[in-house]
Chain A
Amino acid sequence: MPALPLDELQVTQKDADTGRLCTLPALHPERIVSRHFVLYVPPPASCAPSLLEEFLERANFITQDLCWLLGLPHDLFWCQVIFDESLQKCLDSFLSSAPRRYDRPCPLPPSVQKVQNDLHRYVFLTFLRMSTHKESKEHHITPSVFGEILYNHYLFDIPKLLDICVLFGKGNSALLQKMIGNIFQQQPSYYQDLDDSVPTLLQVFSRILEIFGIKQDSESAEPQKLESQKKTTPLDMPEEELQDAVLYICDTSSTLWAFLEIFPAAAQTVQKHDILNKLSSFYELAFSELEAAVMKRKFGDKSTKLDLWRRLSHSKKKLLEICHIIISETCLQPILEHRTENIQPVVEDFLQILTAFLPERRFLCDYDELYPVVEDVNLLQQVSPSLDETRTTYLLHGVQSAWTDTKRSRASTVPP
């Protein structure tokens, strides 16, 4: 006979006060151990012994506690995960502040790095166990209840999922794809949460432009207050602020990219907010001005210029890759994989998206360099012979003229 799912199991245990046997649901707050998980604090930037000691103490506490947690039987693991708030805070603190490899590098002593690496592994294993509703034949949770547990107790949320992808995605992508896929499959409300998060995500890009004092289209028509302060620009803003803002772009583009790379099914949801149009405008507005400023400015430390340049280049590449994942997932793959019966609306979406890119000359050239538009158009022509040739020719001429306008050269791909 198959074992009952954990959410239907009852256990008998001694009452702590009376000593009498009592029956409880297997998932019950009384079954947790008061462990007090401490919060994670990232390794210190300096190697001051006292700071390192505190980091090590915290990290060792968390490592030992997570090792203990992972050693618990299935029922007690889930009780602890659901009802121990200190555990959730501990995990969230790790996700939000653990160093990313693209942050400012700060080499750690080998012993400290080892502790950080161990912790990294235990956090991943904890999230892996939390995203699995069927651990074995005997140990499982009813899928719908599992979805409710994850969502109602905020065991996963959109920022956490993004952090998990950027922290663990590079080396563990296959496993992570299954984890994230299972979470969204068992709890579709996460798609709604993703949908609700996109406006905030887009605000981050607007905020970055604001920090740099770069005007957006929507702003330029508005009358400016006379007494409003003079805006700073990437050329004259304090060096530290410029560095922080570039780090912000770098983190934002890397994190969003990592999430879409691991879970491309999210593309449909994010594109509902016309994200491609907004990202291409951001790209066009921000990078030429930022790159020019980085080239022109003098920095206290010579390595800063190269560091900023690297981060800008990286961010540009990530944004282009994000756009390509979205286009591929929303337009190209559904056609190529025959996911849709009527390909006409999808082809139309593709043409509209690419046509909307035409005014963003610099973005278009960079995108076309990485993902030649002509190849996608050729592909569509093969599967949709009725493709409007006038529109595709207009599009390809637009791409060609963007190359000409930006004074860059490449082999002509426009049909004669």
Chain B
Amino acid sequence: MVLPRLTGALRSFSNVTRQDDYRGDSSDLMTKRSKLREQVLESDLTWKKITQFITGILDKKEHEAIKENLKEILQAAKQIVGTDHGQEAIESGAAYLFRILYDKESIGQIETMAIKQMFGPFPSSSATAVSNATYKIVSRLNQDKLKKLELLFREQRDEGSEFFGKNLTFSLDMYTLEEIEDMPLSRNTETEDITLDF
């Protein structure tokens, strides 16, 4: 429900604002989701880069097992992304899934939501398969190698870890209702709490 606001009246009836008509609806979200998919497709962090990086830092004897895990991720990504947009989209999807799951033991609410935002409704078994395979790969990495992987992701991430005002002290405190004047009892005409039935 839209609450009545002074600034709402000023926006509607004064001539000091740009008159915009906007309302958040689902089409707004759909556009954003497709924009996000575009971003993932255009991301510099490709599936090829991830696979090369992982096989590059692990011993050769582990390559067979790793290849199997990577294949599982790609297959599950196919189920989640769909085949409409071709192999490139599937690989971008796999890279995205690997990136959001590599430091999680299982899929939580946040990850589920992130996957849904990106690809729409998806089979949970496929997400679990990606999660398991990713976990198996990451568990082969020691602390040092894991740090290198994190560094790779951080370099590629477009959400800067440094941003304007990061260290600025910000208060969430907001104006609240003032302490009230006592409600004069003598003027209280509601009588339902008073009983004369002694």
Residue positions of A touching B, CB distance < 8 A: 34-36, 38-41, 45, 53-54, 56-58, 60-61, 64, 67-68, 70-72, 77, 88-89, 92-93, 95-97, 100-103, 117, 120-121, 124-125, 128-129, 135, 154, 157-160, 162-163, 166-172, 193, 196-197, 200-201, 203-204, 207, 244-245, 247-248, 250-252, 254-256, 258, 292, 295-296, 298, 305-306, 309-311, 313-314, 317-318
Contacts and interface: CB of A to CB of B under 8 A. Distances in A.
Interface of chain A, helix or strand or loop or mixed? helix
B2 interface: yes
B160 interface: yes
B176 interface: yes
Contacts of B166: 70
B29 interface: yes
Contacts of A292: 187
A247 B183 contact: no
Interface residues of B, number: 57
10 contacts: A64-B159, A71-B163, A101-B174, A135-B164, A171-B171, A200-B13, A244-B4, A295-B189, A306-B183, A311-B177
B7 A96 contact: yes
Given A34-B35, A45-B1, A96-B5, A317 B183 contact: no
A158 B29 CA distance: 29
Given A56-B113, A103-B3, A255-B7, A70 B28 contact: no
Contact of B6 (A64, A88, A204): A204
Interface of chain B, helix or strand or loop or mixed? loop
Contacts of B172: 117, 120-121, 171
Contacts, number: 193
**Residue of B23, B173, B174 with highest tally of chain A CB at under 10 A:** B174
Contacts of A58: 24, 29
B168 interface: yes
B1 A93 contact: no
Interface stretch (B14-22, B43-51, B67-75, B126-134): B14-22
B6 A162 contact: yes
Interface in B140-198: 158-166, 168, 170-178, 180-181, 183-184, 187-190, 192
B27 to A, nearest CB: 10
Contacts of B170: 121, 124-125, 171-172
A36 B35 contact: yes
B63 interface: no
Contacts of B188: 295
B16 A101 contact: no
A197 B6 CA distance: 11
Nearest to B171: A171
Contacts of B6: 162, 201, 204, 248, 251-252, 255-256
Given A58-B29, A310-B177, 14 more contacts: A38-B24, A45-B1, A70-B164, A120-B172, A125-B170, A128-B165, A158-B16, A158-B17, A170-B173, A201-B9, A250-B177, A255-B7, A295-B187, A305-B183
Interface string B105-123: 0000000010001000000
